[in-house]
């Protein structure tokens, strides 16, 4: 499958932005300046970017509590995201949503979601709108192996098939629903679940951007062509805990180190495109430097932006009465 050079460069920048954004949050969260919970997406970048590289501005996505990667891949600006995570009024949700509830409807991002399994029902609604309007767009739900057991997800799979909606359900399977191994908690297989609802199933390695891009392209083309929903099962590994502060005592001592060494999607991407002569390493280094500057500027701005102000409810009463 041929991928345009500009798409590859844009995808690399998007993956690098996710990686640097999350690694910086890992450092900043430890200072105590960021309110609420933070769930990092490091190690999973190729999934969000490989899928979203096949989407248009008119397509919609819904995410999870681990949603920063999906937001960036769909085009949400990092400055507004960083301000939102810091709870500032300049955030994309005016500082009222925080890390788990970033949304930007202007680029089709219906929102990260603190409710496990909260995204698939939203995507059914979005997909129904696309089908009714006949706009040729698709709706994509990202959710994890833990959310695959939720009734809302199973009901959404059923509804999407019954109504033949242009929806794609992306199972980002990192092997753990919070701290519980998927092998312990998920009966059967995702493939069997897709078959039970009469939709095609595609599986891929989430550390391989090219594999995700191709698999997602097939699933999205199926849905966009009016053939009903499809399921994409992406196998990946997260590098940090379920949330910042998670000691990860449920994981083998060398599990994360092995993932970083052997399954780094950014390293694998760089090796492939440079060995193929598509890019010089120096060109990718320039992207890295530009992204680092962008993240640094976003942090500085977020720390200096104002906090949201509570509305003066009595003043409103006086104005109306």
What's the chain's length in residues? Answer: 321
Going by C-alpha positions, the residue among 212, 290, 265, 286 that lies closest to residue 41 is 265
* Cα–Cα distance for residue pair 279/273, rounded to 1 Å: 6
The residues that bridge with 235 in the sheet, in sequence order, are 173, 205
Residues 245, 104, 62, 311, CA torsion sign:
positive
- Let me know: does 152 contact 123? Beta carbons within 8 Å: no
Residue 13 dihedral angles phi and psi, to the nearest 5°: -60, -40
Residue 314, pLDDT score: 54
The string of pLDDT tens digits covering residues 42-70 is 999 999 999 999 999 999 999 999 999 99
Is the Cβ–Cβ distance between 302 and 308 less than 8 Å? no
Residue for token digits 């949201």? 308
Give Cα separations from 282 to 28, 138, 288 (angstroms).
29, 37, 10
CA 156/CA 146 separation, integer angstroms: 15
Here the tokens at position 258 are 């092995």
Q: What is the pTM of this model?
A: 0.94
User: pLDDT of 122-137, one tens digit each?
Assistant: 999 999 999 999 999 9
Q: What secondary structure, in 3-state letters, does 41-54 show?
A: CCCCHHHHHHHHCC
Alpha-carbon dihedral angle through residues 235, 236, 241, 242, given to the nearest 10 degrees: -40
Q: Please give the DSSP secondary-structure letter assigned to residue 164.
A: T
pLDDT at residue 315 above 70? no
pLDDT of residue 180: 87
pLDDT tens track for 141-164? 999 999 999 999 999 999 999 999
Q: What are phi and psi of 98, to 5 degrees?
A: 75, -170
Predicted confidence at residue 210, as pLDDT, reads 98
For residue 294, what pLDDT is reported?
Answer: 98
Low-confidence winner among 14-28, 176-190, 270-284, 300-314 (lowest mean pLDDT)? 300-314
pLDDT at 81 over 70: yes
CA–CA distance, 34 with 87 (Å, rounded to integer) = 8
Answer whether residue 175 shows pLDDT above 90.
no
Q: Which residues contact 225 (CB under 8 A, 6 or more apart)?
A: none
pLDDT at position 310 is 79
Confidence label for 258 from pLDDT (cuts 50, 70 and 90): very high
Contacts of 27 (CB under 8 A, 6+ apart): none
Structure tokens given for 184: 């312990």
- Domains of the chain in start order, with CATH, are 3-240+263-301 (3.40.50.970)
């Amino acid at each position: 499958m041929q991928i345009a050079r500009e798409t590859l460069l844009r995808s690399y920048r998007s993956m690098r932005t996710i990686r640097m954004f999350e690694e910086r949050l890992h450092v900043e969260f430890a200072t105590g300046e960021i309110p609420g919970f933070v769930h990092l997406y490091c190690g999973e970048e190729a999934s969000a970017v490989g899928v979203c590289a096949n989407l248009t501005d008119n397509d919609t996505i819904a995410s999870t509590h681990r949603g920063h990667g999906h937001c960036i891949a769909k085009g949400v600006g990092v400055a507004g995201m960083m301000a939102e995570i810091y709870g500032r009024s300049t955030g994309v949700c005016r500082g009222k949503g925080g890390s788990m509830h970033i949304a930007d409807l202007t680029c089709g991002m219906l929102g990260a979601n603190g409710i496990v399994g909260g995204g698939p029902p939203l995507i059914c609604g979005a997909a129904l709108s696309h089908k009714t309007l006949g706009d040729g767009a698709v709706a994509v739900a990202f959710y994890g192996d833990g959310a695959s057991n939720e009734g809302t997800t199973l009901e959404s799979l059923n509804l999407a098939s019954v109504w033949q909606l242009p929806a794609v359900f992306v199972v980002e399977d990192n092997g753990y629903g919070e701290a519980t191994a998927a092998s312990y908690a998920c009966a059967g297989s995702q493939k069997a679940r897709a078959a039970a609802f009469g939709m095609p199933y595609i599986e891929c390695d989430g550390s391989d951007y090219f594999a995700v891009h191709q698999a997602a392209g097939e699933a999205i083309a199926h849905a966009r062509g009016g053939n009903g929903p499809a399921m994409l099962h992406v196998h990946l590994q997260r590098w940090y805990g379920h949330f910042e502060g998670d000691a990860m005592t449920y994981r083998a001592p060398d599990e994360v180190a092995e993932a970083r060494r052997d399954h780094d999607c950014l390293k694998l991407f760089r090796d492939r495109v440079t060995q193929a002569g598509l890019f010089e390493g120096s060109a990718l280094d320039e992207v890295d430097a530009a992204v680092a500057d962008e993240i640094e500027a976003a942090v500085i701005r977020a720390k200096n932006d104002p906090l949201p102000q509570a509305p003066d409810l009595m003043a409103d009463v006086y104005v109306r009465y």
